[in-house]
Structure 1
Amino acid sequence: MGRGRHAGYDDQRELILAQAAALFARTGYAGTSMNQVAEASGLSKATLYHYYRDKYALLVSITEGHVLRLQGIVGEAVAEGRTPQAQMRILIRRLVEEYADSQNEHRVLTEDVKFLDDADRKRVLDIEREVVAGFARVVIALRPDLEEAALGKPLTMLLFGMINWLFTWMKPDGALGYDDIAPVVSDLFLAGLKAVKAPHLQATP
């Protein structure tokens, strides 16, 4: 009988994936070695191979794990929201929360998916397309008149662009946090600039 996994096995795998994603995002998949991943994870190379057989396995886990989490967000939002507007607000809030913690993974998905084999790349991108389609369905539920003009996906991509751009200018220690800005994104997307409400800001010490 094979040895069972120790209690911290999954936690260690997640740590390795996080470190690998940070390295891939900074230096690219092709420019990162397993030695670097092992060092960043505080492991020997032999121990690293106990968790992941090679660098390619890391890339698959990072990209597929990221899109599966996004897919889960769509499913949960649709299940929880009683109206399309409630669903969209949940989608935006959850997406901002997810992206706040997975900028490295998102960059790897965007820039390094090309290194996946055809079958793996198709599987990952198919899930990503399902995520976009899920958002687009909520957009059309909000504005059925836009379905004929096929604007569901374009509006979804504009929304994704707005959310992605947040992380290029927002400062973690700034006056606005992600919890503050997510409702602003929802207001702006759902009703335009006139619907945006200013969040209550704490006085700067």
Structure 2
Amino acid sequence: MARTIAKDHSEKRQQILSSAAKVFAEQGFDRASMTVLARECGISKANIYHYYDSKDAILFDILDTYLSELRDRILGVDLDGLSPDDRLRLVVQEVLNAYQGADHEHKVQIDALSALPEDQQARMRAYQRDMVRFMGECLRDVAPEVFTPDPAKLRGATMSVFGMLNWYFMWNAGAGSKERQDYARLVCDMTLNGVRGLT
């Protein structure tokens, strides 16, 4: 007879993912053990194996959940009726809002994505490419005369914006909404004032 899924299965799974992200971020994926994960989760190692058959499976689920939800949130921003400048501002703000509370997952993405098998890495990079493409479209619309004829310049500008955003968690771990709004404004002001000066 097949084992039934407990009513709190999703909550327990999320608890494991959150705890594992913290351990992987602080200790490194390679050094973390299932014993340490179980201790951090407050459950037995056998109970973890009820949900995941390996540390690698946990890593994949952390990154797949984090990046797919991040991608869906950013690409789901409603930009209808906004000017190009305001579209960029809204998207940058949403990226920083989405990062809030996800410092561990973000660090695991940077440090441990390469530990996944190639096919799983490709899936994660597809999520990342979707977000880069979306941000790039926002930037292109701000200065089409600069970026439309020069895709390499657009990519460089897009990755520069993400560079500023992706390192924010290192400078301001635990920053609140107001600090994130202020930083989003700074990033956009520098970007908007800079890209139109490109030749």
TM-score (norm 2): 0.85
In 2, the alpha carbon distance for the partners of 1:173 and 1:136 equals 26
TM-score (norm 1): 0.82
In the alignment, is residue 82 of structure 1 matched against residue 84 of structure 2?
no
- Are 2:15 and 2:41, in contact at CA under 8 Å, matched by a contact in 1? yes
Aligned to 1:199: none
In the alignment, is residue 23 of structure 1 matched against residue 23 of structure 2?
yes
> Structure 1 residues 164 and 116 mapped into 2: Cα distance closer, same or farther (>3 Å)?
same
> Structure 1 residues 134 and 11 mapped into 2: Cα distance closer, same or farther (>3 Å)?
same
For residues 146-166 of structure 1, the C-alpha deviation after alignment (integer angstroms, 9 at most, x for no partner) is 121222221111111212332
In 1, the alpha carbon distance for the partners of 2:67 and 2:75 equals 12
- Are 1:81 and 1:90, in contact at CA under 8 Å, matched by a contact in 2? no
In 2, the alpha carbon distance for the partners of 1:30 and 1:81 equals 45
Please state whether the residue corresponding to 2:149 is helix, strand or coil.
Answer: coil
In 2, the alpha carbon distance for the partners of 1:129 and 1:24 equals 24
Aligned to 1:197: none
Q: CA deviation at 1:111?
A: 1.6
Which residue identity does 1:82 align to in structure 2? G
Please state whether the residue corresponding to 2:81 is helix, strand or coil.
Answer: coil
Q: CA deviation at 1:189?
A: 2.5
Aligned to 1:167: 169
Which residue identity does 2:159 align to in structure 1? M
In the alignment, is residue 149 of structure 1 matched against residue 134 of structure 2?
no
Q: CA deviation at 1:81?
A: 4.1
Please state whether the residue corresponding to 2:162 is helix, strand or coil.
Answer: helix
Please state whether the residue corresponding to 1:43 is helix, strand or coil.
Answer: coil
Which residue identity does 2:28 align to in structure 1? G
Aligned to 1:187: 189
Aligned to 2:133: 133
Please state whether the residue corresponding to 2:32 is helix, strand or coil.
Answer: coil
Q: CA deviation at 1:3?
A: 4.8
- Are 2:67 and 2:124, in contact at CA under 8 Å, matched by a contact in 1? yes
CA RMSD of the aligned region, Å?
Answer: 2.3
- The more displaced of 146-155 and 177-186 is 177-186
Q: Which runs of no fewer than 5 residues in structure 2 stay unpaired?
A: 195-199
Q: Which has the higher contact order (CA 8 A, sep 6+)?
A: 2
Matched length: 191
Residue identity over aligned pairs, in percent, reads: 28
Q: CA deviation at 1:39?
A: 0.6
Q: Which runs of no fewer than 5 residues in structure 1 stay unpaired?
A: 193-205
- The more displaced of 16-25 and 162-171 is 162-171
> Structure 1 residues 3 and 90 mapped into 2: Cα distance closer, same or farther (>3 Å)?
farther
Please state whether the residue corresponding to 1:101 is helix, strand or coil.
Answer: coil
